[in-house]
Amino acid sequence: MANTYTLIASSTVGSGGAANIEFTSIPSTYTDLLVKVSVRMTSTYDLFWIRFNGVTTNLSGKSLQGDGSSVASYTVEPYGRGQSNTTTSNTFSSTDFYVPNYAGSNYKSISTDSVSENNATQAYAALGAGLWSSTSAITSIQIVPNGGDTFVQYSAAYLYGISNS
Amino acid sequence: MPNKLIINCETGEQTEVELTAEEIAQREADAAKAEADRVAKEAEDAAKAALKQEVLDKLGLSAEEVAALLA
Amino acid sequence: MAAGATYEPIATTTLVSATSTFTFSSISGSYTDLVLVIAYKAATTNYPTLRLSFNGSATGYSGTQLYGTGSAAGSARTSNAAYISIARAVGVPQTIGNTGTIIINLQNYSNTTTYKTVLARVNASDTGTEADVGLWQSTSAITSISIDSITTNDFAIGSQFTLYGITAA
């Protein structure tokens, strides 16, 4: 039986920081994709977006988010939590985006689990349901900080392919 | 201005690429929108807090007392 | 020492006709955990609760759900039920043709000592996101998994069901 859950590509941000992280030329040979992201931001923004094939439209979603004292649900495009520069130093957030059938002709569903714990008064745990209403195969993925922010050094992203046969 | 980090999944190569003028303009627009959203949310949160306190004052109760009632 | 193969695909099916029920049977007991991934495509506007059950049993199930609708958060639970509720409030698409993701984790599914627990995530951008935990009060090894929708033929053509096995060593 085939082994699956294969690392396709990885990236780590260098000393100059990164305006965004982009995986290109994604092969169509897997069934599902899993993007694992660990980031810290340069400024006070603490959120980043995931986009596909360089397209910023036809993205939709809903999230459920707790911050340590309250819980709320939002109608918002798929996002992950990032660690802002006001959080405990040397802490980086952790996010999984799971995209099944990324190379098929159905719309692309995105399942998100994201946390930004930093042993302080406020941190976030977020669950997300997303949709990219496109029939195109995903060939590239962009991880983009909110508000024109920047990812700091040692932020990282990993792209895994999962095959169902 | 930081570069964008591109990872080619065919070769595994990671390169830093300068942003285009359009991408820079988009980042600046994103920054302006994010700041506007933050200001709007702060105003909304302040308005909610003020309304909540107004109601508590009318009831003559503290927030803890209301929480105990609703528990 | 190099790790052995893990996270193996056991079986997969892509629907060629709409259905209400899907079952994986004769599941090998040689793995440690199971992961069921469903790429759900909506054939109807029902966005139904999905019923998860094991080995054809209709007793001994309970569960808790945590969900967000995009404007409100909530939680619910069931006890002494005939199935574990998945997507009880939200999490499967309501718009025909839209897709959603269901990931169901079954830890230690083949042991004959403990009750069986389930962790599930269900997501659809037009209804919401839900996390479900479930318990089957049985020490039987899980050899079959059934998932069915509470209404008719909600799984559209093109919906895909894949069962993976994870080996601890």
> What pLDDT digit, counting tens, does each position of C74-132 carry?
999 999 999 999 999 999 999 999 999 999 999 999 999 999 999 999 999 999 999 99
What is the pTM (predicted TM-score) of this model? Answer: 0.90
Closest chain B residue by Cα to residue A25: B9
For residues C93 and C122, give the distance between their C-alpha atoms in angstroms, rounded to a whole number: 10
Task: Report residue C1's pLDDT band, with 50, 70 and 90 as the boundaries.
Answer: very low
Q: Give per-residue pLDDT as tens, C106-121.
A: 999 999 999 999 999 9
**Partner residue opposite C9 with nearest CB, options A60, A73, A164:** A164
Which residue of B9, B11, B20, B44 to mutate against A (max A Cβ within 10 Å)? B9
Taking the Cβ of residue B34 and every Cβ of chain A, the question of whether any pair is shorter than 8 Å is answered with: yes
Q: Identify all chain B residues contacting A45, using CB atoms and an 8 Å cutoff.
A: 34
Give the three-class secondary structure for B68: helix
For residues A115 and C95, give the distance between their C-alpha atoms in angstroms, rounded to a whole number: 29
Q: Which two tokens stand for residue A82?
A: 């990032």
- Average pLDDT on C155-166 reads 95
Q: Give per-residue pLDDT as tens, A33-75.
A: 999 999 999 998 899 999 999 999 999 999 999 998 889 999 9
Exposed/middle/buried for residue A137 (C-beta within 10 Å: 0-12, 13-18, 19+)? middle
pLDDT beyond 80 at C5: no
Closest chain B residue by Cα to residue A7: B9
For residues A128 and C100, give the distance between their C-alpha atoms in angstroms, rounded to a whole number: 11
Share of chain C above pLDDT 70, in %: 96
User: Is chain C touching chain B, with at least 3 CB–CB pairs below 8 Å?
Assistant: no
Q: Which two tokens stand for residue C89?
A: 């409030």
Task: Report residue A2's pLDDT band, with 50, 70 and 90 as the boundaries.
Answer: low
Task: Report residue C3's pLDDT band, with 50, 70 and 90 as the boundaries.
Answer: low
Listed residue (C52, C59, C43, C62) closest to C122, CA to CA: C52
Type of residue numbered A43: S
ipTM over 0.85: yes
**Partner residue opposite C68 with nearest CB, options A64, A111, A163:** A64
Give the three-class secondary structure for B65: helix
pLDDT beyond 80 at B9: yes
User: Is chain A touching chain C, with at least 3 CB–CB pairs below 8 Å?
Assistant: yes
Rounded to a whole number of angstroms, the distance from the CA of A148 to the nearest CA of chain B is 4
Burial C55-76 (b: 16+ CB within 10 A, else e): bebeebbbbbbbbbbbeebbee
Give the three-class secondary structure for A141: strand
What is the pLDDT, as a whole number, of residue C4? 58
Instruction: Judge: A146–B19 Cβ closer than 8 Å, yes or no.
Output: no
Closest chain A residue by Cα to residue C124: A129
Taking the Cβ of residue B41 and every Cβ of chain A, the question of whether any pair is shorter than 8 Å is answered with: no
Task: Report residue C154's pLDDT band, with 50, 70 and 90 as the boundaries.
Answer: very high
What is the pLDDT, as a whole number, of residue A3? 64
Q: Give per-residue pLDDT as tens, A85-101.
A: 999 889 999 999 999 99
What is the pLDDT, as a whole number, of residue A122? 77
DSSP lists the bridge partners of residue C146 as C23, C53
Taking the CA atoms of residue B28, residue B33, residue B39 and residue B44 in that order, the dihedral angle to the nearest 10 degrees is -170
What is the pLDDT, as a whole number, of residue C120? 96
Instruction: Judge: C127–A74 Cβ closer than 8 Å, yes or no.
Output: no
| Average pLDDT of chain A to the nearest whole number | 94
What is the pLDDT, as a whole number, of residue B37? 85
Taking the Cβ of residue B33 and every Cβ of chain A, the question of whether any pair is shorter than 8 Å is answered with: yes
For residues C66 and C68, give the distance between their C-alpha atoms in angstroms, rounded to a whole number: 7
Give the three-class secondary structure for B50: helix
Listed residue (C120, C101, C111) closest to C42, CA to CA: C101
